């Protein structure tokens, strides 16, 4: 990348006022002092809605910000950003929250954007941008300089970065950096710290730190937050939204004859779009998007077949998939002490088993297929202590929705942190419930969620895999380890929670709900809400109704969708599915489905109200309607009542 950098093009201010956005798209340049409030917390669902991600090439440049909601308006249309000649895009706090999809910064890059400015960034989004060569900055002092046409020294975009990340930026992206690393032209500097008390996450990173890639040597005595490392992954996985784009990036960079490192530790999943053909709306079909989406499956299958990668795909009878990647990773693969990376922001799901599991982008996974490692800046840790015991009927989902409403997290204070859960409240939660805590580190904005393994972890692995696990003595944080922040949850005081439509951080106590909120859809499913314990808690709510012959009211649809076939078979054997069907629920095969706006359970009009056990409710995430988030028990109770109620109603 040249130094200094001249960005020839316009500035696009993503404001709360749709009128100001429309004026810029029409050719007007706003005075930076008159933009009005910038949009905060722009999610990747808004930058590139899920249906846009069926594309995995430069066509994405027609679509950045297509889902951007300003007030009640979606001002950006297909092709308008590319046509506007913009080189810089400016937003507020927590830019790029939500899904890890690299399609978002790639769409911006393909549309001509070369620099994204924000008050703060989500970790994966910023890392994806850096990997692609898209510049990022939180320095709003650049705006007047850019408007004057001033060339900006590259050093201003690398200031404050660890040396590995800075060199990636200097070289224009991760592929160029790794090519130089594999050729011996550059070697990441290794931290040299004396032994120090470390958090459990820091221990995991230190043990996986690559010391000599050529000799296969890993392990450092100590690391600390801010260190730039490459870490060896025990498992690398991707799903069908990402595998084709990653394969394309890889083959463009290294050719079709590239050799992957240890294919036995690479997994692929066809889990997101299994039911897309049942839910795609007519408007998108008319755009040819079903045909576009159907390219993903054969592209993934061809890549996996070429390289001998295990693909957990659709069932032969077409009734669903083998399971959602996160569910299967926890049920079959991940074990304490391992390091797991996947192309999904909810990869931290497996952190419930005491492994370090975190989401990476498309370029990260493509490089990791070849190198076996990924780059990491050692994150700080936020300690969340669950004090006391949870009341009956209060679940992990309620704990997370409570945390998401806390000012520290709402204001982005946990961005890029490890969220480590401790405290006696964990004793009330089995591994399925703990996975909800770690999974939704993504909504908190964290690097990952993590729980040190204990007797419950041993029990889970014995039950699900029939394997004997012996925990090692190092698998915990050290006394005296440093934590950047600490939050405490008073478990006995916590009741069932909700998140109001629009953002998982819109938390409120169910007891504070004012007035009846009628619902049209109740959805129990996803990686967060389709585990054994999720279905069991919902079953405890519906079994009495089933025995009494009560059913879901007319006008309400109740969908039940398991996270994996292993869970579905268990639920059938326990009689849970029969009870759900007895009250009028539609039971679906395993898949991400409605959670990714790709299956039955999505809303179809803005006036519909959904209550859902999924992990996020950003605008358009699961259809155009209004989505409330809640625990599985609350979802089941609301389905039976036809309005939002608690399980004790």
495 confidence band (pLDDT: 50, 70, 90): very high
In the sheet where 266-269 sits, what is the strand order?
Answer: 310-312, 266-269, 235-239, 339-342, 356-359
pTM of the full structure? 0.91
Domain range annotation of the chain: 10-158, 235-374, 379-495, 499-641
Flag whether pLDDT at 1 surpasses 70: no
What pLDDT band is residue 586 in, cutting at 50, 70 and 90? very high
Element (H, E) at 537: helix 532-548
Distance between first and last Cα of the chain: 62
pLDDT at position 255: 85
Q: 268-285 pLDDT, tens per residue?
A: 999 999 999 888 888 889
Q: Which two tokens stand for residue 217?
A: 């040597």
Which CATH topology does 379-495 take? Aconitase; domain 3 (3.30.499)
- Say yes or no to pLDDT of 648 above 90: no
- Report the pLDDT averaged over residues 245-259: 90
DSSP collapsed to 3 states, 323-389:
ECHHHHHHHHHCCCCCEEEECCCCHHHHHHHCCEEEECCHHHHHHHHHHCEEEEECCCEEEEEEECC
Dihedral pair phi/psi, residue 65, rounded to 5°: 70, 15
pLDDT of residue 183: 86
Task: Dump the DSSP string for 196-251.
Answer: ----HHHHHHHHHBEEETTTTEE--S---TT-EEEEE-SEEEEETTTHHHHHHHHH
- Percentage of the chain beyond pLDDT 90 is 88
- State the Cα–Cα distance between residues 534 and 567, nearest whole angstrom: 10
Q: Which residues contact 276 (CB under 8 A, 6 or more apart)?
A: 290, 293, 598, 599
Specify the pLDDT at position 434: 98
Nearest partner of 516 among 357, 641, 400, judged by Cα: 641
Q: Are 450 and 444 in contact (CB under 8 A)?
A: no
Distance, CA of 91 to CA of 469 (rounded, Å):
48
Q: What is the CATH number of domain 10-158?
A: 3.20.19
User: Which of 181-195, 228-242, 431-445 bottoms out in mean pLDDT, i.e. has the lowest?
Assistant: 181-195
Identify any residues that bridge with 509 across adjacent strands, giving them in sequence order.
497
Strand-pair partners of 135: 115
- Asked whether residue 438 carries a pLDDT value surpassing 90, the answer given is yes
In tens, the pLDDT along 406-418 reads: 999 998 899 999 9
Q: Does domain 499-641 have CATH number 3.30.70.20?
A: no
**Could you report the per-residue pLDDT of 212-232, keeping only the tens digit for each?**
988 889 999 999 999 999 999
Closest Cα to residue 476, out of 281, 198, 189?
198
Write out pLDDT tens, residues 31-67: 999 999 999 999 999 999 988 888 888 999 999 999 9
Are the beta carbons of 335 and 227 closer than 8 angstroms? no
Matching CATH topology for 10-158 and 235-374? no
Residue partners of 266: CB distance under 8 A and separation at least 6: 235, 236, 237, 260, 307, 309, 310, 369
CATH for the stretch 235-374: 3.30.499.10
């Amino acid at each position: 990348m040249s130094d200094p950098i001249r960005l020839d093009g316009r500035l696009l201010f993503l404001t709360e006022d749709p009128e100001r956005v429309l004026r810029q798209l029409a050719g007007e340049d706003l005075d930076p002092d008159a933009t009005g409030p910038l949009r905060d917390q722009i999610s990747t669902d808004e930058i590139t809605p899920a249906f846009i991600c069926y594309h995995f090439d430069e066509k994405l440049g027609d679509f950045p910000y297509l889902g951007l909601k300003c007030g009640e308006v979606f001002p950006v249309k297909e092709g308008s950003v590319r046509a506007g000649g913009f080189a810089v895009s400016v937003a507020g706090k927590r830019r790029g929250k939500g899904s890890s999809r690299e399609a978002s910064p790639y769409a911006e890059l393909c549309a001509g954007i070369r620099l994204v400015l924000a008050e703060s960034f989500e970790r994966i989004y910023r890392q994806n941008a850096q990997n692609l060569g898209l510049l990022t900055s939180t320095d709003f002092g650049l705006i007047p300089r850019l408007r004057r046409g001033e060339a900006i020294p590259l050093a201003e975009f690398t200031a404050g970065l660890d040396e590995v990340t800075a060199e990636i930026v200097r070289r224009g992206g991760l592929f160029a950096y790794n090519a130089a690393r594999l050729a011996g032209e550059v070697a990441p500097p290794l931290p040299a710290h004396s032994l120090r008390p470390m958090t459990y996450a820091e221990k995991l990173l230190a043990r996986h730190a690559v010391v000599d890639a050529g000799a296969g040597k890993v392990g450092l005595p100590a690391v600390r937050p801010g260190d730039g490392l490459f870490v060896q992954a025990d498992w690398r996985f991707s799903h069908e939204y990402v595998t084709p784009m990653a394969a394309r990036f890889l083959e463009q960079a290294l050719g079709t004859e590239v050799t992957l490192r240890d294919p036995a530790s690479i997994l692929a999943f066809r889990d997101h779009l299994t039911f897309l053909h049942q839910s795609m709306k007519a408007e998108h079909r008319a755009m040819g998007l079903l045909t576009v989406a159907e390219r993903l499956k054969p592209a993934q299958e061809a890549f996996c077949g070429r390289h001998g990668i295990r693909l957990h795909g659709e069932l032969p009878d077409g009734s669903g998939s083998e399971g959602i990647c996160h569910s299967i990773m926890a049920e079959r693969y991940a074990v304490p002490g391992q390091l797991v990376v996947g192309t999904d922001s909810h990869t931290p799901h497996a952190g419930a088993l005491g492994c370090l599991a975190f989401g990476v982008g498309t370029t990260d996974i493509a490089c990791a297929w070849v190198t076996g490692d990924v780059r990491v800046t050692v994150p700080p840790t936020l300690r969340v202590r669950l004090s006391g015991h949870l009341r009956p009927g209060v679940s992990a989902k309620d704990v997370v929705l409570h945390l998401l409403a806390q000012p520290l997290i709402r204001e982005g204070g946990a961005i890029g942190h490890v969220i480590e859960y401790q405290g006696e409240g964990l004793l009330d939660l089995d591994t399925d419930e703990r996975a909800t805590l770690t999974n939704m580190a993504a909504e908190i904005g964290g690097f990952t969620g993590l729980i040190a393994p204990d007797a419950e972890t041993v029990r889970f692995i014995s039950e699900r895999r029939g394997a004997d696990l012996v925990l090692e003595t190092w698998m915990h944080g050290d006394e005296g380890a440093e934590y950047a922040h600490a939050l405490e949850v008073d478990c006995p005081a916590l009741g069932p929670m909700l998140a109001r439509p629009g953002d998982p951080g819109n938390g409120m106590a169910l007891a504070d709900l004012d007035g009846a909120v009628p619902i049209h859809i109740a959805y129990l499913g996803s990686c967060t809400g389709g585990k054994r314990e999720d279905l069991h808690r919902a079953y405890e709510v519906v079994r009495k109704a089933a025995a009494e012959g009560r059913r879901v009211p007319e006008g309400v649809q109740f969908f039940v969708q398991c996270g994996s076939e292993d869970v579905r078979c268990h639920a059938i054997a326990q009689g849970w599915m029969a009870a759900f069907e007895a009250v009028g629920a539609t039971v679906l095969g395993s898949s991400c489905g409605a959670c990714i706006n790709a299956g039955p359970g999505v809303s179809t009009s803005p006036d519909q109200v959904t209550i859902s056990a999924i992990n996020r409710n950003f605008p358009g995430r699961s259809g155009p309607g209004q989505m409330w988030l809640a625990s599985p028990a609350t979802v089941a109770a609301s389905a039976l009542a036809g309005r939002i109620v608690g399980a004790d109603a």
